[in-house]
Structure 1
Amino acid sequence: MINIMAYSKEKGMQEGIPMQELRSETWDWYWVDFEEPTKEEIGMLETEFHFHPLAIEDCLQGLQRPKLDYYDDHTFFVIHSVSRMELEKKEIDIFLGDCSIVTFHKEKNDPLEQAKRMVRRVKDYQEIDEYFVFHQILDKVVDNYFPIIYKIEDHINDIEDNTKNLSMERLLEELFDRRGELLTLRQTVHPMRDLLYRILNSHHLDGVFDRREYFADIHDHLVKVADMIASNREMTQDIRDSYLSLNSHETNRTMQILTVISVIFMPLTFIVGVYGMNFSNMPELSTTYGYLVVWIIMISVAVGMYIWFRNKGWFD
């Protein structure tokens, strides 16, 4: 599906105009959006707009790293948005030319829809151009990173407080899931940050220079998101280390108790083993109170060792 927005001083803002009218008339600027394009519509990138074959090839391949390429009559950009639900990267390809901007994406994209609504709300279209649309697209894409990172932060706080009373194994699974989400987001944000840096320092994009403070604001947002990702990854690592330390402490505590019990029973086992030998000449076996005396000795040894271990602080 192809969506067209175009503006001229004579006709004002127009939407849904046919491609033939877009070619036959002069427009101050226009935005053509290829959303989930068919094979025939993809062919229009070459037949109607005459974009460079390498740029068209990048559109048709899988996820490209965010980048920009300069061609004779247009600049080609690859940017990434992230869906809030699936946390899946989605590619948006942008052809920025003189008085024109063409976007290409194989899936429906919420930031682009938000940018369209923003353009429609403009009161004076004479004050905007293709670079205004380009800024709106970048701004909406980057703004959509924030709800994702805030949601991940909330999940990490829940894991830290264990509000759901989950087991240690389940908590670690949740923690590693959040780390995976942060990794996915970092793999998107860092290349986008580098791309905005290149855009800001480009000598080929005069419209960016005219609106430098607006594009610099987007770069600042990306730096902020990158810092939030780094801090949250550090937090997940600290929580993981704390859980592992706690689990190790509990294991050591259990082993300590078992060791104390084993040590207490070692002399008792020795005494029982000695008097369990079936020798004929064992004088203690013929005494009247031998059985009682052995029990008193074993109980005294057990109680004495328990008191000794307790004074050493093994049961604190």
Structure 2
Amino acid sequence: MDTWLVTADGIEPHPSSDIAALLARSEGFVWVDAPDFDDEVEHVLRDVLHAHPLVLKACRERNFVPTVHGYEDHTFVVVHTPLPGEGGHVHMLELDQLVGARYLVTVHGPRNPAVPASEATAQTDAVRERIAAGRLRPTTPGDLSYAIGSAMARRQSEVVRSVAARLPALEMQVMGSDFRQPEVLLEQLFLLRHELLISRTQAGQAHEIFGRLASLDRFSSTQSRRHAQDLSEQFDRVRSLADGESAFLFGVIELYQTRVTTKMTVAMERLAVIAAITLPVTAIASVYGMNVIVNQSTHWVQLVVVLAVMTSISLWLLRWARRQGWW
């Protein structure tokens, strides 16, 4: 767990034992960032910041749906960002924010062991670097929370743009495919759709959460509600981008599935023609063979007549299939 004092001059690191003293100071505000929820974080939230028990429970457990709760002295927000992983799996990175009048606590929720801590803290690390470099000067915890939320919206937008960058190459494969191994290309398309749908879902949920936060007149200031409304619009734009790419991707998948289905239908029609042509011939050959198997020698006249009948039937069936447009 890292603790900083954010002032007009920048950001100063402090040990967690100084949190109570830092809160008593008149300048700046305290930012506590916890890559994982442990006993030290629980102690700070419960005994120093007096967080609501439901906040402790939410920080301790994994939350699959974003949420917002307003309390008398702090507001609790849970938002997610996507992280594409191996084999088409998309990790859901959780960030819990406890926003008070003099402090901001960011807890990076329980994560998959396959996800490195640097990925989970990428947004908060980037914001801290901006503050240290002088490019960002938040004056309140709400300002800092807004900057982190904007960074999360940008990350979601980057995932959507990454899908959009990979989609044209797959579209070219769809247009020039020989349909010999359709399952490989279809799997790539559906995995891409899975990644896009997760990004779209998380952006839509974040839009609703910050929209709700903007309406909490009792628990937030005018500036905080303005920040929440802007974040709601940012996530809504990400959702709109994902909707546009989804429509394009679904169209590509539908086109490829239609072409594959058409190819299979044509193949089935040709197999049906072959079966229709060979079936009468097979039947005649079977019946004739069973009745002449006892002959001591070949009856050439009968053989020629039977072969002529077989050929005539086959030609007639080919002509009929041609008129039906089957080949």
Shift of 1:193: 0.8
Aligned to 2:155: 144
Deviates most, 150-159 or 189-198: 150-159
Matching of residue 100 in structure 1 with residue 100 in structure 2: no
Say if 2:5 and 2:13, in contact at 8 Å, map to a contact too.
yes
Which consecutive unaligned segments of at least 5 residues does structure 2 have?
110-116
Q: Are 1:248 and 2:248 counterparts?
A: no
Conservation of the 8 A alpha-carbon contact between 2:37 and 2:60: no
Q: Which residue of 1 aligns with 2:113?
A: none
Name segments (4+ residues, structure 1) moved above 6 Å.
none
Report % sequence identity. Answer: 22
Query: Could you say which residue in structure 2 is the equivalent of 1:181?
Result: 195
Question: Is 1:208–2:218 an aligned residue pair?
Answer: no
Residue 262 (1) aligns with residue 275 (2) = yes
Alignment root-mean-square deviation, CA: 3.3
- Going from structure 1 to structure 2, the CA distance change for 1:279 and 1:149 (only over 3 Å counts) comes to closer
- The 1:43–1:258 alpha-carbon spacing in structure 2 relative to 1, beyond 3 Å, is same
The answer to which structure, 1 or 2, has the higher relative contact order (CA under 8 A, 6+ apart) is 2
Change (3 A) 1:231 1:14: closer
User: Judging changes above 3 Å, is the alpha-carbon distance between structure 1 residues 199 and 24 closer, same or farther for their aligned structure 2 residues?
Assistant: closer
Measured in 2, the distance between the counterparts of 1:4 and 1:116 equals: 10
- Give the match for residue 132 of structure 2: 120
Give 5+ residue unaligned stretches, structure 1: none
Matching residue's letter, 1:50: H
- After TM superposition, give the deviation of residue 78 of structure 1 in Å: 1.6
SS of residue paired to 2:31: strand
The structure-2 alpha-carbon separation of the partners of 1:290 and 1:105, relative to structure 1 and needing over 3 Å to count, comes to closer
Q: 1:292 to 1:124 in 2, by over 3 A?
A: closer
User: How many residues were matched structurally?
Assistant: 305
Report what 2:42 is aligned to: 42
Shift of 1:197: 0.7
Select the residue among 67, 75, 90 that pairs with 1:87. Answer: 90
Shift in Å, 1:65:
2.7
> Distance between the aligned counterparts of 1:123 and 1:153, measured in 2?
30
Alpha-carbon separation, structure 2, partners of 1:179 and 1:314: 36
1:182 & 1:66 partners in 2: Cα distance? 18
CA contact (8 A) 2:5 2:30 kept: yes
Asked if 1 retains the 8 angstrom alpha-carbon contact of 2:97 and 2:107, the reply is yes
Q: What code does the residue aligned with 1:56 have?
A: L
**Residues of 1 paired with 2:70 and 2:151: CA distance?**
24
Bigger Cα Rg: 1
1:51-110 C-alpha deviation (Å, 9 max, x unpaired): 222212211121253222222221222222223546311222212111322222255411
- Partners of 1:111 and 1:190 lie apart in 2 by 19
Tell me which residue corresponds to 1:110: 122
Show CA shifts across 1:267-295 (max 9, x none). Answer: 43455456543499xxxx97x75544544
- What is the TM-score with the length of structure 1 in the denominator? 0.81
